[in-house]
Amino acid sequence: MRFAIKDLFTVLVIVVLAAAVFVASAWVLRASIAVLVLGSLGVVLASAQLLIDVFGAHAAGPKRTPVYELPAAEDPDVRATVRGAAEIWAWLFGIVAAIYVIGLPITLTAFVFLYVIAYHGSWRVGLLLSALIAAFIFGVYEEIMHVYWPESYLGGLLGWTW
């Protein structure tokens, strides 16, 4: 028996599919039939996968990559990669928070500039790229598509409108 951390995801898939089946059982049949049939099948398949992963013989030899998958990158420094992943997720959550505070157009323009600077890109490149994004937002989204931007917290406070 060998339970790896990645098997937790399989457990999560089983739980989500089982929950979907449970929720769907309360609907009328014509709305629930697909979820009931496929969800149950999914629980069985994922459970079988979990059993194979945990109890099955782990054959040696080259790793088989699913055909429908992009080949995973070879990461020589796992610790650095994990740190990098944490950083980029922090950036993404930061973007969401900033969108609520200062609005989407300003956030994305600022994000591009700050990201370049944070990873030792030149100020000139940072300014150029953020100007490109700002031009794209203004030219396409504002002028051509006339997009209505969701109101930000500061925008509401200071009376900014886009």
Partner 1 sequence: MIEGTLHGLMAITAPVPLGFLCLGVILGVWGGALPGVGGPSQLAVLLPFAMLMAPVNAIAFLIGVTTVGNTGNTFTSVLVAVPGGSGSQATVLDGYPMARKGEARRALSAAFMVSMMGGIIGALVLFGSIPVLKQIVRLFGSPELFMFTLWGLSMIGVLSSGAPLKGLTAGIVGVLLSTIGQDVKSGVMRFDFNTPYLWDGISIVLISLSIFAMPEMIALASRKRRVADVTDLGTTGLLEGIKDGFRHWWLVIRCSVIGCWVGILPGLGSDVADWFAYAHARQTEKNSESFGTGDVRGVIAPESSNNAKEGGALLTTLAFGIPGSTSMALLLIAFVSVGLNPGPEMLKSQIQYVYIIIWALVLSQVLASVLCWAMVKPAARVCFLPFYVLVPIVIALTLLSAFAAHFAMADILAVLALSLLGYVMKLTGWPRAPVVLGFVLGQKVELYLWLSVARYDMDWIWRPGVLAIGLLVLTTLIWPVWTRWRRRGLTVAEVV
- Residues of span 9-68 touching partner 1 by CB under 8 A: 9-10, 13, 16-17, 20, 23-24, 27-28, 30-32, 34-35, 38-39, 41-42, 45-46, 48-49, 52, 64-68
DSSP label at residue 151: P
Smallest gap from Cβ 60 to partner 1, in A, equals 15
Smallest gap from Cβ 158 to partner 1, in A, equals 19
148 counts as binding partner 1 under rule CB under 8 A = yes
Q: By CB under 8 A, how many residues form the interface with partner 1?
A: 74
Residue among 147, 146, 111, 149 nearest 132 (CA)? 111
98 counts as binding partner 1 under rule CB under 8 A = no
Smallest gap from Cβ 145 to partner 1, in A, equals 7
> Which lies closer to partner 1 via its Cβ, residue 9 or residue 55?
9
Q: Are 12 and 48 in contact (CB under 8 A)?
A: no
> Which lies closer to partner 1 via its Cβ, residue 2 or residue 6?
6
